[in-house]
A = this chain, B = another copy of it.
Amino acid sequence: MVNPVLVEVTRGALVESRHRGMIAVADAAGGLVYAAGDIEAAVFPRSACKAIQALPLVESGAADAYDFGNREIALSASSHSGEDAHAALAAEMLGRAGRGVEDLECGAHWSFQQPVLIHQARTREMPDALCNNCSGKHAGFVCACCHQGIDPKGYTGYDHPLQAQIREAMADVTGALVGTDVCGVDGCNIPTYAVPLKALARGFARMATGEGLSPTRARAARRIIDAAMAEPYYVAGTGRACTALMEMAPGRIFAKTGAEGVFCAVLPEQGLGIALKCEDGTTRAAEAMVAAVLARLLADDAALSERLRLMADSGLKNWNGTDVGRVRAVLP
């Protein structure tokens, strides 16, 4: 099937570019509340499923053993901007397990956020692995290993015991088959598994409600979701969409972006999970799409819904500050 146009980018009176995609909104039983495009398609969730990947850290007792609060747990499920506070907290997490930056296997990169990159360029010769947007997740991985007596060396490999735990959690939460045939290597070197978009939506509904999960897993899932909602800055950073969405409605919206135009979200009050992908992998479109679908689902709260609609239909300015067009969601 051809996915529908879900976002238009306008310039003057014309549509300049178009983004197609698919959206699934499901409850924990898999009942669909909203669907657009091919929601059966297998999608790499990339970083949008970091909350699921953080389950072993909490379930194993490692988070408690190392006295992790909301900030540390939020960072373990984050794609942070590499701000100094993010890198420092990742280092502190590693330190609690007697480990350090040398144990991270995620690689290093300069921040994707221009203001942060400018700051880094002025204060560092080169970025280290703590600056990697995944360093909090990887610090959590190292801590999960150490607490369980597993040697963290090689923890990013498909055959490492930690990745087996993550794979089991991913399969259990989403109900999808995850193995080598749907496996790719993610930007931070760990395996990523393509799962049907509707299974991902249902999985996030289960993360919030605990339905269908073991009591231990249900508690861990809700703790991760709650920690992210309590500390949205540590899930992304200054000016980022995930942070803005969660700050808009404290405790009522969980939202997490992933590379290549993926977004997952949860409405805990309604027990709904949301998973979406922009077909072409563009972040600006995924952000407009998630804001638009949240605005619909939260229509009962007029003020909140209006703020979400502003994010789903935002103005484009040029270098002189002139209004030149819009990025607007056009959901069917």
Interface residues of A (CB under 8 A from B): 2, 9, 11-14, 16-20, 42, 44, 105-110, 114, 117-118, 121-122, 132, 181-189, 192, 194, 260-261, 278-282, 285, 318-322, 324-325
A43 to chain B, nearest CB (A): 8
Measured CA separation A285–B324 after assembly (Å)? 24
Measured CA separation A188–B189 after assembly (Å)? 39
CB within 8 Å for A186 and B318 given contacts A2-B2, A13-B181, A281-B16: yes
Measured CA separation A188–B322 after assembly (Å)? 10
A298 to chain B, nearest CB (A): 27
Taking A17-B281, A107-B319 as given, write out 9 further A-B residue pairs in contact, using a Cβ cutoff of 8 Å, ordered by the A residue number: A2-B2, A11-B192, A14-B42, A106-B320, A110-B118, A122-B122, A185-B322, A188-B320, A189-B322
Measured CA separation A194–B14 after assembly (Å)? 8
**Contact with A280, one of B19, B105, B107 (Cβ below 8 angstroms):** B19
Most buried by B among A17, A118, A188, A322: A17
CB within 8 Å for A184 and B280 given contacts A114-B117, A117-B118: no
> Which residues of chain B are within 8 angstroms of A16 by Cβ–Cβ distance?
44, 184, 194, 260, 281
B11 engages A320 (CB within 8 Å): no
**Closest 7 CB pairs between A and B?**
A107-B319, A12-B184, A17-B281, A11-B184, A121-B121, A280-B280, A107-B320
CB within 8 Å for A318 and B12 given contacts A121-B122, A261-B17: no
B107 engages A187 (CB within 8 Å): no
A187 engages B132 (CB within 8 Å): no
Measured CA separation A326–B260 after assembly (Å)? 13
A332 to chain B, nearest CB (A): 15
Measured CA separation A19–B188 after assembly (Å)? 24
Measured CA separation A183–B184 after assembly (Å)? 44
A121 engages B132 (CB within 8 Å): no
Closest B residue to A316 using CB positions: B187
A327 to chain B, nearest CB (A): 10
A107 engages B318 (CB within 8 Å): yes
Measured CA separation A189–B318 after assembly (Å)? 7
A281 engages B192 (CB within 8 Å): no
